[in-house]
Structure 1
């Protein structure tokens, strides 16, 4: 069901004496953005030059339906909310409540630094003016992604929010009703029934009724990710998120049924999903494999899960001890990392590379996907070593406000002139001298 990689003594068995690169020890799924560039470039150009008609053509071509209007009519979201299962509504409301609390705790105030009499620099946090949020709807209607994108944007103070999700043939070419219901709960009334690369291009160029945005966020398939790469610069983007990943660092104290269930939970997202267990316990590895044999065939999406778990991106990795295991998971830098060990909090505190860390047996990744209060839009593909998950900070910009009096400028004028001359930029120095030569 899932392959094994034995890294025991790997770090000490190299004749060259060079450090072992654990980043190459656990391969990832083949998610070749470059291969998709030609096709996606054509789509983006089509939207840029063809406008709304091109967007509608792509909806018909890729989603099998041509919406009457790409903007969802006013009232449709509220109607979807009115029809929503009360239990689903309660779950969404609790998730929103928890996420809003953690987002509000992230808000930063202006930082004012007085460098002397009349010399002040203020570090201001300014929200984006307008953002476009993308919510996938292909394999599954990811209603939770509505919350994860919208709530931090709202808390950050973004004034204009547009949301796009693929048209659903079974719902007459509109957005999935559960996604619409979540939009109504959050007060998002600008919703577009457009998916894939054409949705990202619509946001970037401003197409039909959708005005151009400043920033685009949200996960998606390889075509959506490629469009974000191609249009980055024209608009800001959150990340180039690939297939979902779970890493688990576990020892003999872990419950094999829990570990197996958590691997399955992420494998059901996508056939390219990555599920990796790192453990020094051969006994646990054996027990988890037995549990996977039972649990995979009991789940609804058997083929999808089995494809992910038998892919090159998934493995049980045997290590000498937890120290080596920590080195492996840090190098792998998974999107989601669970720590199911003795003193799980202590080991979790030492992790430096992970999109989100889940501590102990009662913090499964599924909790983070919905109701932990954390955000589930996270860096994938090893990018957790340099990038962060979606947060309030992603929707704000830092601006330095420089406020100096004449006397304060005079105090550093000679330094400015000297440094300008050192860089052979005499005009810079002249711009200071002119203020004192008259």
Structure 2
């Protein structure tokens, strides 16, 4: 579940204009499929880049003063220091609706069980007598976790960021979420309550690209308060400015992925239930006017029935205007394919953040998919389950990046360190090979570093 917060209110509801992309009979290559499937207009990242560069520069040069100015400009909040007081965290948890607390606790429990099972084992490989090579998984020292605000409230994203970091063994965790004018300049109290429930006490009221900059470069101590120390890895979803900031600081810190506006694709055939397909497309469209909802099917009858259901259900949902705008955008629509094989190829070309399989023998079809952030199999595994209580993580790659990147998981917060431990005899056994290869690469000192260990004086 990725988001695009901090956007203006959407206009009144209008009829859904769910466009059609017909791939039948076109014989498209992978490149052709990638170009044909619905996508958001691509100019937004370039438009955002200079603005984000200016924000990063301001945070690096002016520290807390820049953060204060940005909080006033973007959030309408007068801020001295962004650190959330411990008392505010405790109060938010104490005042949390018991039903919401119970739901958060169940989500945490399931996420922990899945995350605990993800941690890879350390590995020792003996390549000969006295020749040992090991791989040890070591957590990063400090992480910065971003939880968006704006059009909705995302305590679930607190869980999705924090739980795998804890499972990895990270010792220092900082969390940032946008300040809210309605809550005295602090993040939404449900966000604070979720952090407190997980034992996270370093929480900042910082939003957008400025939060990513503060995490990446740190903010020195000042008269207004203590330093915000830089982190090793930044994770979490956000809007185009957050995604752009993560791209720009990658290399200074590690990132999970450039998670942008949420998207769902549904691969369905004539056996699918139109009402369920429409409900799931709408569930993601309600996140944001730029959210992407895509149906891939070989059934014209199903496509027509889903359009009818979209009109009916979108008109009655709470965020109807937002939903209709998202469903009517260039990033959404029906993709008509010749058969299941072309449908699978279209899914792999699209590389959806969330991919639902609503076909006959859905598990077998799901096993044929290569590119997706997460795959939801059958009628009883909707994306909403993954957003909250499946145990899986909802911070997932978007915009086709699932073709080469993974969703947030325990290994995001781990590094694989290789350890080489050879005895004298084991090194001597391969010394001739090392000398030969170093000579072939015209790097003779490499070989000499080995042969020096076997001179008589040693």
Report the TM range for the smaller structure's normalisation.
Answer: over 0.9
Contact 2:30–2:349, Cα closer than 8 Å, also in 1? no
Deviation at 1:327, TM superposition (A): 1.2
Partner of 1:190: 202
**Per-residue displacement from partner, 1:224-255 (whole Å, max 9, x unpaired)?**
11111111111111111121110001111111
Q: Secondary structure at the match of 2:453?
A: coil
- Check if 1:319 corresponds to 2:337: yes
Partner of 1:29: 40
Contact 2:38–2:333, Cα closer than 8 Å, also in 1? no
**Per-residue displacement from partner, 1:88-129 (whole Å, max 9, x unpaired)?**
111100011001001111111111000111110111101010
Aligned counterpart in structure 2 of residue 213 of structure 1, from 231, 238, 242: 231
- Check if 1:383 corresponds to 2:386: no
Q: Write the distance in 1 (CA, Å) between the matches of 2:171 and 2:193.
A: 21
Deviation at 1:66, TM superposition (A): 2.0
Q: Write the distance in 1 (CA, Å) between the matches of 2:73 and 2:440.
A: 60
Partner of 2:84: 72
Q: Secondary structure at the match of 1:233?
A: coil
Partner of 2:254: 236
Matches within 5 A, 1:32-47: 32-47=44-59
Deviation at 1:198, TM superposition (A): 0.8
**Per-residue displacement from partner, 1:273-303 (whole Å, max 9, x unpaired)?**
1111011111111111110001111111111
Deviation at 1:215, TM superposition (A): 0.6
Q: Write the distance in 2 (CA, Å) between the matches of 1:261 and 1:194.
A: 34
**Per-residue displacement from partner, 1:13-68 (whole Å, max 9, x unpaired)?**
x7xxx777211111311253222111111111111111111111111111110223
Runs of 4+ in 1 over 4 A off after TM superposition: none
Q: Write the distance in 2 (CA, Å) between the matches of 1:205 and 1:324.
A: 46
Q: Write the distance in 1 (CA, Å) between the matches of 2:260 and 2:443.
A: 45
Q: Write the distance in 1 (CA, Å) between the matches of 2:53 and 2:111.
A: 36
Deviation at 1:423, TM superposition (A): 1.1
Partner of 1:138: 150
Aligned counterpart in structure 1 of residue 141 of structure 2, from 129, 145, 158: 129
Q: Write the distance in 2 (CA, Å) between the matches of 1:317 and 1:215.
A: 37
Cα gap change, 1:19 to 1:136, in 2 (>3 Å): closer
Deviation at 1:69, TM superposition (A): 2.2
Contact 1:162–1:188, Cα closer than 8 Å, also in 2? yes
Q: Write the distance in 2 (CA, Å) between the matches of 1:19 and 1:153.
A: 36
Cα gap change, 1:47 to 1:236, in 2 (>3 Å): same
Partner of 2:269: 251
Aligned counterpart in structure 2 of residue 428 of structure 1, from 434, 438, 446: 446
Q: Write the distance in 2 (CA, Å) between the matches of 1:319 and 1:418.
A: 56
TM-score, with normalisation over the residues of structure 2?
0.93
Q: Secondary structure at the match of 2:385?
A: helix
Matches within 5 A, 1:96-135: 96-135=108-147
- Please, which runs of 5 or more residues in structure 1 have no aligned partner? none
Q: Structure 1 residues 125-134 or 428-437, which shifts more?
A: 428-437
Partner of 2:8: none
Q: Structure 1 residues 200-209 or 386-395, which shifts more?
A: 200-209
Partner of 2:183: 171
TM-score, with normalisation over the residues of structure 1?
0.97
Contact 2:218–2:230, Cα closer than 8 Å, also in 1? yes
Aligned counterpart in structure 2 of residue 357 of structure 1, from 361, 364, 375: 375
What is the aligned length?
A: 433
Partner of 1:157: 169
Matches within 5 A, 1:1-20: 1=16, 2-11=18-27
Aligned counterpart in structure 2 of residue 368 of structure 1, from 379, 383, 386: 386
- Please, which runs of 5 or more residues in structure 2 have no aligned partner? 1-15, 222-226
Q: Write the distance in 2 (CA, Å) between the matches of 1:144 and 1:122.
A: 37
Contact 1:148–1:375, Cα closer than 8 Å, also in 2? yes
Q: Secondary structure at the match of 1:247?
A: strand
Q: Write the distance in 1 (CA, Å) between the matches of 2:31 and 2:155.
A: 41
Q: Write the distance in 2 (CA, Å) between the matches of 1:379 and 1:227.
A: 15
Contact 1:10–1:20, Cα closer than 8 Å, also in 2? no
Q: Write the distance in 1 (CA, Å) between the matches of 2:316 and 2:391.
A: 29
Deviation at 1:10, TM superposition (A): 2.0
Partner of 2:305: 287
Q: Write the distance in 1 (CA, Å) between the matches of 2:412 and 2:31.
A: 35
Partner of 1:278: 296
Q: Secondary structure at the match of 1:136?
A: coil
Contact 1:67–1:193, Cα closer than 8 Å, also in 2? no
